[in-house]
């Protein structure tokens, strides 16, 4: 999936719900990052005593900032970090899981069901699809601090009681030079799951594989294939945009440039249609739209605005200029 436009460039069985293991923690991280509590100190409770599997080895009573817990969550896949975050932000794991499902619904993850904040699946299971997880990855990528944390290769934390040194378990960050982040996961039931992001020549992509025996190799091969086929083309440039119309009284402009990933063969299919009401537009602000289409498919609609109109001179202004 293209991270900017959401266009799916390649798909295979993308709507079948599957266990997602620790890629669950992307949603846990999103809720933490959006809580505006990242600098708050969190005290580890007895919830860590029941955790097993991958861990950052938190101890009951230990204190750590929410930000550092998120580093431990994403870099080392700490199941203990996940339940501490859930308890801190939700009051209980159950309430936090409800927050996860509500967020999933808000961003369009239609076939996702969370039952825990970590991804272990012996007692409760988290199900999603490759498409839904790509939607989540795209959403998370818009958060600046998520991008920073998920691409961090090494992080050191000192709590006063212990010093932690964490290396990122996402191998793609060291094996593939265009990789920019992501999260891996594994349980015997889910198999290997992987969500990653990468960027080359302005084209930003995310790839999701569920139950893949060689996920890191698959992702690198898919990135190479997509980067060789697709390129990001700027279709509208706000700095050079101009539009002549008998229905505009002032100068037209757009507020944002627009680009889109295209195959070479698709470039000639892109067209733009300006739509302005057929009467003189004398007001400032939005006066119409530009439809960007590829064949019959509508890619986007860009608002057209009109700049502040010159003040009309009165009869007395004109007389004054004569004298």
Helix (H) or strand (E) holding 128: strand 127-128
CB 33 within 8 A of CB 144: no
Strand partners, 163: 158
Half-sphere exposure (CA, 13 Å, Cβ side) for 287? 26
Cα separation of 286 and 289, whole Å? Answer: 8
Half-sphere exposure (CA, 13 Å, Cβ side) for 237? 4
Active-site residue (options: 5, 11, 12, 25): 25
Sign of the C-alpha dihedral, residues 137, 138, 141, 146?
negative
Active-site residue (options: 5, 35, 77, 244): 77
Q: Which two tokens stand for residue 313?
A: 């001179």
Indicate if 256 belongs to the active site: no
Active-site residue (options: 11, 12, 22, 162): 22
CB 171 within 8 A of CB 77: no
Q: Which two tokens stand for residue 224?
A: 């190479």
Indicate if 25 belongs to the active site: yes
Say whether 281 sits in a helix, a strand or coil. Answer: strand
DSSP state of 311: P
Angle between the N-to-C axes of helices 79-90 and 93-106, in degrees from 0 to 180, rounded to the nearest 10? 90
Strand partners, 300: 292
Indicate if 312 belongs to the active site: no
Which residue's entry shows tokens 């891996």?
A: 184
Neighbours of 302 (CB within 10 A): 21
- In angstroms, the Cα distances linking 268 to 106, 293, 322 are 36, 11, 55
The residues assigned a catalytic role are 22, 25, 77
């Amino acid at each position: 999936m293209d991270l900017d436009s959401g266009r799916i460039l390649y798909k295979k069985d993308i709507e079948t719900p599957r266990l997602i293991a620790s890629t669950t923690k992307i949603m846990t991280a999103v809720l933490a990052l959006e809580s505006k509590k990242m600098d708050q100190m969190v005290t580890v409770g007895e919830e860590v005593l029941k955790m097993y599997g991958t861990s950052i080895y938190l101890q009951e009573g230990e204190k750590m900032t929410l930000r550092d817990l998120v580093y431990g969550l994403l870099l080392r896949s700490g199941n203990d970090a996940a339940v501490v975050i859930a308890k801190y932000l939700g009051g209980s794991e159950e309430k936090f899981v409800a927050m996860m499902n509500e967020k999933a619904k808000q961003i369009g993850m239609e076939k996702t069901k969370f039952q825990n904040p970590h991804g272990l699946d012996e007692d409760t299971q988290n199900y999603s699809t490759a498409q839904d997880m790509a939607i989540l990855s795209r959403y998370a990528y818009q958060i600046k601090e998520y991008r920073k944390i998920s691409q961090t290769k090494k992080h050191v934390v000192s709590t006063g009681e212990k010093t932690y040194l964490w290396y990122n378990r996402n191998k793609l960050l060291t094996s593939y030079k265009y990789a920019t982040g992501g999260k891996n996961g594994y349980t015997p039931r889910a198999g290997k799951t992987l969500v990653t992001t990468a960027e080359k020549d302005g084209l930003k992509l995310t790839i999701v594989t569920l139950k893949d025996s060689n996920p890191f190799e698959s992702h690198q091969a898919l990135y190479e294939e997509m980067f060789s086929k697709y390129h990001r083309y700027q279709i509208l440039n706000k700095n050079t945009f101009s539009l002549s119309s008998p229905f505009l009284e002032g100068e037209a402009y757009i507020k944002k440039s627009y680009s889109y990933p295209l195959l070479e063969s698709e470039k000639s299919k892109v067209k733009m249609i300006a739509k302005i009401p057929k009467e003189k537009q004398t007001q400032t602000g939005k006066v119409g739209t530009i439809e960007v289409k590829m064949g019959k498919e509508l890619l986007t609609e860009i608002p057209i605005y009109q700049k502040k109109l010159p003040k009309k001179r009165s009869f007395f202004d004109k007389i004054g200029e004569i004298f």
